[in-house]
A and B are shown apart, each in its own frame.
Chain A
């Protein structure tokens, strides 16, 4: 079946540190991959996405590359800020034609301290 695995954290980093949040998936077919961010008390916001192998999604200094060979979509940022403190969700849509539901990972809580 389809699934998403991500490190649950919490992850605590100092400001300007390098961030990596690992995400791996299992899926049949050719899924689209997403990272969402949820700030405290708010809904989920789309952070970035990639729809095919080797695509790189990027936004607000965050990047993730769709690696089909390792079935991974790790989120990275070179220098985190306090304002990046949030919960990050990795997600996949299995296929447009399969009518499968979106699969969300459990979320990774990130705290950035000054």
Chain B
């Protein structure tokens, strides 16, 4: 069966510091991968998606970037965090475009 991992689970970082969040998927090959942010409240905002190694599409211009160095690894990064980057970051995967998305446990980021 497929599983999706995210780490760290919680992160507290000062403004201006770098960020690296990692997401890995097990039990499937060549998944579509997604990064979402859930700000205070409940809404989900799609940040990035990837349909293959090295391919990244950005949905919203901002202080973040994503990379996919391996088939089942998706990384969210920032060179300098802003207060507004605080939130709950969710990684998700799907077999292909238009199929059900399955979510990881999330990373809670607090920027102080």
Contact = CB atoms under 8 A, between A and B. Distances in A.
Interface in A80-96: 87, 89, 93, 95-96
B105 A96 contact: no
Interface residues of A, number: 25
A25 to B, nearest CB: 16
Q: Is the interface of B mostly helix, strand, loop or mixed?
A: loop
B46 interface: yes
Interface residues of B, number: 21
B98 A93 contact: yes
A104 B45 CA distance: 9
Interface string B66-98: 000000000000000000000000101000111
Interface of A: 32, 34, 36, 38, 41-46, 49, 87, 89, 93, 95-99, 101-102, 104, 106-107, 109
Interface of B: 6, 42-44, 46, 49, 59, 90, 92, 96-106, 108
A38 to B, nearest CB: 8
Contact of B103 (A41, A45, A101): A45
A102 B34 CA distance: 11
Contacts of B100: 32, 34, 46, 49, 93
